[in-house]
């Protein structure tokens, strides 16, 4: 029961990121919103590890670990989340949540490519079905200003980036605790994003209103801290079963978008979401022993 509660909490929090971002970018440019989120999350995680806990396992990284954290932070935070938050300016929140479910599918493809292994037919089929589902769910939203082709391209580029980050993370023999890895990677990723934020953002457009404050706090504390703690907990128990909780993210994501942003749920939405879930199942069923 404990694992089920944590899994549900993860899916609910993870799916809320796109809606919270959509609220936040009305008060600040996307990259400023993202950078603020990353630094708050990094401060909380590293502050706990080094100042509150003071456990001996929370040590400073070695030279090799700094390099690994920098690469992971650049891929996972600077590129992935930087592109993701920017894409939310041109993409509906529901599509943002749905796109995150393609991550396991892309990881399968990238892992095969990097390992020199030919992808299985089921893996290729799962990716084609998942991407087709995204296209179908997105189609009716292209008729209004909520979603554009450019936004979808940026969004899917962010998914490729996080898939690379996940494959890289899996290939490293980490000895640092998960909290410390997440704290440093999000902080370093935020630092790497700063030059882009200064160049491409209009700081005069920032409104320090309640919407900005609540959005940033939710994204940094609820999603980047609590959500990732739940995710790492699930991964530690069973990697394959953990990925199954991603099936719920588009369902929660479209519900939040409908409830809080009045985004429509159409037949296209339902069919597209079911296709993505079907693609996820096909891609994972061998691991599940189905």
Largest Cα–Cα separation, the chain: 56
Q: Which of 279, 265, 276, 274 is nearest to 92 (CA)?
A: 265
Task: Give the 3-state secondary structure of residue 118.
Answer: coil
Does residue 286 contact residue 122 with C-beta atoms inside 8 Å? yes
Distances (CA, A) of 164 to 79, 128, 233: 10, 19, 21
Over residues 130-158, the pLDDT tens digits come to: 778 888 888 777 776 678 888 889 998 99
Q: Pick the range with the lowest mean pLDDT from 63-67, 78-82, 229-233.
A: 229-233
Number of H helices, E strands in the chain: 15, 0
The sign of the CA dihedral 157, 252, 7, 53 is positive
Cα separation, 261 vs 127, in Å, equals 29
Does residue 243 contact residue 69 with C-beta atoms inside 8 Å? no
Radius of gyration of the chain measured on its C-alpha atoms: 18
Over residues 110-126, the pLDDT tens digits come to: 776 766 667 677 777 87
pLDDT band (50, 70, 90) for residue 287: low
Q: What mean pLDDT is predicted for residues 257-274? A: 87
**pLDDT higher than 60, residue 289:** no
Q: Which residue has the tokens 């970018």?
A: 25
Does residue 190 contact residue 113 with C-beta atoms inside 8 Å? no
Over residues 72-107, the pLDDT tens digits come to: 999 999 999 999 999 998 998 888 888 877 777 777
Q: Which residue has the tokens 């891929």?
A: 75
Residue 42 or 240, more confident: 42
Q: Tell me the two tokens of residue 133.
A: 């589902």
Q: Tell me the two tokens of residue 233.
A: 């907990």
Return the half-sphere exposure (C-beta side, CA atoms, 13 A cut-off) of residue 215. 26
Share of the chain above pLDDT 70, in %: 90
Task: Give the 3-state secondary structure of residue 67.
Answer: helix
Cα separation, 285 vs 241, in Å, equals 11
Does residue 125 contact residue 136 with C-beta atoms inside 8 Å? no
pTM of the model: 0.85
User: What is the pLDDT at residue 145?
Assistant: 63
Distances (CA, A) of 34 to 72, 185, 269: 17, 14, 27
Query: The domain containing residue 113 runs over which residues?
Result: 2-288
Residue 113 or 34, more confident: 34
Q: How many domains does the chain have?
A: 1
User: What is the pLDDT at residue 23?
Assistant: 95
Cα separation, 242 vs 219, in Å, equals 21
pLDDT band (50, 70, 90) for residue 278: confident
Over residues 173-217, the pLDDT tens digits come to: 899 998 999 999 999 999 999 999 999 999 999 999 999 999 999
């Amino acid at each position: 029961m404990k694992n089920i509660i944590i899994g549900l909490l993860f899916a609910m929090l993870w799916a809320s990121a796109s809606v919270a971002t959509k609220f936040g970018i009305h008060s600040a440019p996307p990259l400023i919103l993202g950078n603020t989120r990353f630094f708050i999350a990094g401060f909380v995680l590293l502050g706990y590890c080094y100042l509150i806990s003071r456990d001996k396992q929370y040590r400073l990284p070695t030279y090799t670990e700094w390099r690994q954290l920098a690469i992971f932070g650049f891929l996972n935070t600077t590129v992935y989340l930087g592109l993701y938050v920017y894409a939310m300016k041109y993409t509906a929140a529901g599509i943002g949540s749905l796109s995150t479910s393609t991550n396991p599918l892309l990881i399968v493809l990238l892992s095969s490519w990097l390992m020199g292994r030919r992808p299985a037919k089921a893996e290729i089929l799962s990716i084609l079905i998942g991407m087709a589902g995204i296209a179908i769910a997105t189609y009716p939203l292209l008729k209004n200003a909520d979603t554009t082709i450019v936004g979808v391209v940026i969004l899917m580029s962010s998914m490729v980036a996080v898939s690379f980050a996940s494959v890289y993370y899996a290939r490293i023999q980490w000895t640092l605790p998960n909290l410390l890895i997440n704290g440093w990677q999000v902080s370093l990723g935020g630092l790497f994003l700063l030059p882009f934020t200064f160049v491409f953002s209009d700081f005069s457009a920032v409104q320090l209103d309640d919407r900005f404050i609540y959005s940033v706090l939710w994204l940094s504390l609820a999603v980047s801290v609590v959500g990732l703690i739940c995710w790492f907990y699930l991964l530690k128990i069973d990697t394959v079963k953990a990925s199954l909780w991603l099936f719920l993210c588009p369902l929660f994501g479209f519900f939040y978008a409908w409830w809080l942003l009045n985004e429509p749920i159409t037949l296209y939405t339902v069919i597209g979401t079911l296709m993505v879930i079907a693609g996820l199942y096909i891609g994972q069923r061998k691991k599940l022993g189905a």
